[in-house]
Chains A and B, each alone.
Chain A
Amino acid sequence: MPNEAKANVFQGTLDLMVLRTLATLGPLHGYAIAARIGQVSSGAIQLNMGTLYPGLQRLEQQGFVRARWDRTENNRRARFYSITAAGRRRLDAQKAEWTRMAGIIQAMFAEGA
């Protein structure tokens, strides 16, 4: 199951999930992002490092998230990611697009039934 789930998490969806997580919870380190997504998906999506970090890196390079080193509550050094203004705009745009798409798909299934 985890492998399948990983394959299904394609790029745009991962971006959307990461941005959404950061927009709701504020700055988080990579592990916390993965944990949150796992929790929200009830364990259906288990992001491994090889998917998560390159994705974060790309979002950072595209200017949607910002990263900096900080301390966790246990006083450990970790890299924290936060969403940027451009990231919020992106999230809004993608959310609208996603809703629109979901509506269309739903309408299609409704018709078929």
Chain B
Amino acid sequence: MKPKVREWCLRLWGTFKNRDAEVEEELRFHLEMAEQDALRRGASDREARLRTGQPAQAADSLRDQWTIGWLRDLFADTRYGARILGRSPLFTAAAIGSLALGIGANTAIFSLMDALLMRFLPVHNPSELVELTLVEQGRRVNSFSYPPIAALAAQKDIFSGVAGCTTYSFDFTSGAETMRLPGAWVTGEFYRMLGVEPFAGRLIAPRDDRPGATPVAVLSYAYWRSRFAGDFGVIGRTIQIENQPVLVIGISPRGFDGAIVGSTANLTLPLGVLPQLFPERSRMLDATAQWMRVLARPRTGVSTAQAKARLGVVWPRIAPLATTPRMNRSRRDALLNSSIDLMPGGSGFSDLRSQFRRPLGVLLAITALVLLIACANFANLLLARGTTRVREIALRFAIGASRARVIRQLLTESVLLSAAGAALGLLFAGIAGRSLLAVLSTGGFNPIALDLRPDARVLLFTTMIALSTGILFGLVPALRATATGPAAALKGGSGIAPRTRTRLLPALVVSQVALSLTLLIGAGLFVRTFQNLLERDPGFRSEGVLLVEVDARPAGFKGSRLTKFYEQILNSFRQIPGVISASVSVYTPLNGGDWSDSVAINGQMTSESVHLNLTGPHYFETLGTPLVLGRDFGEADRAGAPYTAIVNEAFVRKYLPDGHPLGQQIAIAFPARATLEVVGVVKSTVAQSLREEAPPFLYLSYFQFEEQITSSTFEIRAQGRLATTAAVVHDQLRARFAGTSAQTREQTLTEQVARTLVQERTLATLGGAFGVLALILAAVGLYGLLAYLVARSTNEIGIRMALGAQRGELLALVLKGALRLLAFGVAMGVPVAWIATRWIGAMLFGLRGTDPAITALAAALLAATALAAALIPALRAARVDPLTALRYE
């Protein structure tokens, strides 16, 4: 080791190791020797002293060489600070607790943002990766079909690798047990492009992604550990996926769960073998199925702009691959004239991002406010404490400490507190993270899987918050506490703080009140928005309706046999005890799917496309959508009978405003060229979102368009618990589909509706929770201030009482003080909140940011809490015994 390095290492070690006793002995020996020498030589003691120097100064220089000075001071300050803090546990707990709540809330939301939006995939050089998107007529589309991906991958002068991937659920059969596993389809270059190395075995290569290749699968590390107990023997073994043999070739590295953030791919398969696993779905590999996300790595030295420019030349030649002759004209033209755009792709893809980016931004802002309130509490506590420590500080001045040294000591204490708060906050965040994911996952089919363990970025974030909180909010109290300086040392011998009239403390409490009010108003708006959406009449009654999605094609049903089979299922559902009515359709409200097209009304094409659905008899009755005019589809409306249609009121308003909708002729081009006669009008229902106006709808008879039916959804309205009905349905379907890979899924309509409200629910739940947190923190702040003021004025109160003041008057005096602070806070908070809510205006529903009822409610809640917090110190003031108070002097 280099001598200098060795020296500093030892000094670091020495900083924490006291050798004063040793030094003292060595120096004493030196002095004695010098004295003996001087005696021998006849020189005076004084001369010997002069030669040897002062032992105290020598010991100081020696200590400076033995240790790292500033670190030693820091260490000593920390130890001293910890001891001082330990002596006032209530203050310490209040300060640390406040900060822990604030920092914890921030960290929790930030780690969620980090995991969802910022974290890079655990792959080679993730920042190089780009995501390819298709721009069709100015609209950005994230999904590609399979054929053009290989053509893009062949552009070796632009990309070193291009790969597509998409999530998928696979049936995995082991013994008698079949389970659905979250998985992914990828194209051959996926792992090579990402630069992911296998944990064991090998990963999917381009040769596996070919029609007719042996079907292979890669297991994720986590799944391999949990399901196969980390047995390497599984590599090379054949497992049953979708009742087909699939060879396990390897295990992906630990921590890599695929490129789709928020979902875990336990199993990954190459797309090329899809037709072997799902013969009936081979069309998913042609250009009609746009379902792949595409990631690429530009060649070294090719910038994003260059890659984009070269793609501009190349893509028009590749684009025809993205079309098929079967597509209609406009669709083909849109694809042929499309272009490619590149976006940063290093953090993978997630549909959750677009869904949660804005709510998370709002939540981070909310938690930042919570932190500010917590910091105000912290500063408040420190300020109040500073005035009670006047004597101690004066003493330090008296023994020669400089102001800077005392400030450093005080800052060390506040940073110590904030660091402890941050540590506890991290713990809170860890616990809260799990509940956050639960809130976010509500109503989803697959729970959202995100790794919320704090990474370097989160830790840095929290550390920065803690440090800046400790220094920023500790500095002002420290400056104030030392403002009197050494001059005033020990002057105020009475033990009562010098009466510096401070406006800082009340100002902090006023801003706390204002911030809390802003938060409460925000939370109220989100809660109310959520309620408004839930209470909104969507045009159907979701309670008591079970939805059963069935795709019987994998079981070998096709064409009219398929619809026959669905009809059989429907009839068997109607027999289940408790079922009131049942029907079948292609789409259900808010299911995320959509089908719309232009139609011709009495020869006139509609300006915009209308929503279409295929519904069976009793559909409207089952969903609770009232029939306004005419009749529902009946058993007679099937193939061969005259075509019939039902429209909704929105359709009538927009396209048939003259009245008499019944009997009107509507021509459609798709699914079949046909002219339909309107036989009924139903109430309008929402289609995509509870926020939208119910759009014009045209319903076709399900059994009249047999050739269009693929998968279907059954609606069952039943009495009693839906779970019971769902279980019966599940058993029936299992029996019917035993040994096939037909897919079914049961859920309630209420769940389906709830899923569209995930954002709103998240904001309402978390916004509300943070609002309550802010309320508590503000109440603690107000209580702290008043308690401190009352304690400090015990004397004055005693005098007032001695002079004849009534207890009631004193109570009123303190409460009046609290009310004044509250009034100031509210007066400041309302305009701030109203300005701030402009930013969230688009996220609200059924009310505006300046909603007076919400504002009044928030203010009332705040006032009630604040007065409750003020009552305790007020009562204490009223209970002051004048004799004790005066004797105190």
Interface residues of A (CB under 8 A from B): 2, 29-31, 34-35, 46, 48-51, 53-54, 57-58, 61-64, 76-79, 86, 90
B55 at the interface (CB under 8 A from A): yes
**What residues on B are CB-neighbors of A30 within 8 Å?**
26, 29-30
Complex: A34 Cα to B27 Cα, angstroms: 13
Q: By DSSP majority rule, is chain B's interface helix, strand, loop, or mixed? A: helix
B37 and A2 form a contact (CB under 8 A): no
Complex: A53 Cα to B62 Cα, angstroms: 6
A61 and B27 form a contact (CB under 8 A): no
Q: A2-B50, A31-B34, A61-B10 are in contact. Are A76 and B29 (CB under 8 A)?
A: yes
Q: Which residue of A46, A53, A58, A61 contacts B58 across the interface (Cβ within 8 Å)?
A: A53
**What residues on B are CB-neighbors of A54 within 8 Å?**
58, 61-62, 64-65
A31 and B65 form a contact (CB under 8 A): no
Chain A nearest CB, measured from B821 CB (Å): 57
A48 and B29 form a contact (CB under 8 A): no
Chain B nearest CB, measured from A5 CB (Å): 11
Which positions 1-55 of chain B face chain A at CB distance < 8 Å? 1, 3-4, 6-7, 10-11, 14, 22-23, 25-27, 29-31, 33-34, 37, 50-55
B66 at the interface (CB under 8 A from A): yes
Chain B nearest CB, measured from A21 CB (Å): 16
**What residues on B are CB-neighbors of A29 within 8 Å?**
29
Q: Which residue of B6, B52, B64 contacts A61 across the interface (Cβ within 8 Å)?
A: B6
Chain B nearest CB, measured from A29 CB (Å): 7
Residue pairs across A and B with Cβ atoms less than 8 A apart, 6 shown, are A48-B52, A53-B62, A54-B61, A62-B3, A62-B7, A78-B26
Chain B nearest CB, measured from A36 CB (Å): 13
Which positions 166-184 of chain B face chain A at CB distance < 8 Å? none
Interface residues of B (CB under 8 A from A): 1, 3-4, 6-7, 10-11, 14, 22-23, 25-27, 29-31, 33-34, 37, 50-55, 57-58, 60-62, 64-66
Q: A35-B37, A48-B53 are in contact. Are A61 and B7 (CB under 8 A)?
A: yes
**What residues on A are CB-neighbors of B30 within 8 Å?**
30-31, 34, 49, 53
Q: A48-B53, A62-B6, A63-B3 are in contact. Are A53 and B29 (CB under 8 A)?
A: no
Complex: A54 Cα to B57 Cα, angstroms: 11
Complex: A77 Cα to B7 Cα, angstroms: 26
Which residue, B25, B27, B51, B55, has most C-beta atoms of chain A within 10 A? B51
Chain A residue at smallest Cβ distance from B23: A53
Chain A nearest CB, measured from B883 CB (Å): 60
A49 and B27 form a contact (CB under 8 A): yes
Q: A35-B37, A61-B11, A62-B3 are in contact. Are A49 and B65 (CB under 8 A)?
A: no
B29 and A64 form a contact (CB under 8 A): no
Chain A nearest CB, measured from B39 CB (Å): 14
**What residues on B are CB-neighbors of A53 within 8 Å?**
23, 26-27, 30, 58, 61-62
Other than the known A51-B61, A54-B58, A79-B29, what 16 A-B pairs have Cβ atoms closer than 8 Å? A2-B51, A31-B34, A48-B51, A49-B58, A50-B60, A50-B61, A50-B62, A51-B53, A53-B23, A53-B58, A54-B62, A58-B7, A61-B11, A77-B29, A78-B29, A79-B25
Complex: A57 Cα to B23 Cα, angstroms: 11
B7 and A50 form a contact (CB under 8 A): no
B3 and A79 form a contact (CB under 8 A): no
A49 and B11 form a contact (CB under 8 A): no
A64 and B3 form a contact (CB under 8 A): yes
**What residues on A are CB-neighbors of B61 within 8 Å?**
50-51, 53-54
Complex: A78 Cα to B27 Cα, angstroms: 10
B62 and A57 form a contact (CB under 8 A): yes
A50 and B53 form a contact (CB under 8 A): yes
Chain A residue at smallest Cβ distance from B57: A50
Which residue, A49, A64, A86, A90, has most C-beta atoms of chain B within 10 A? A49
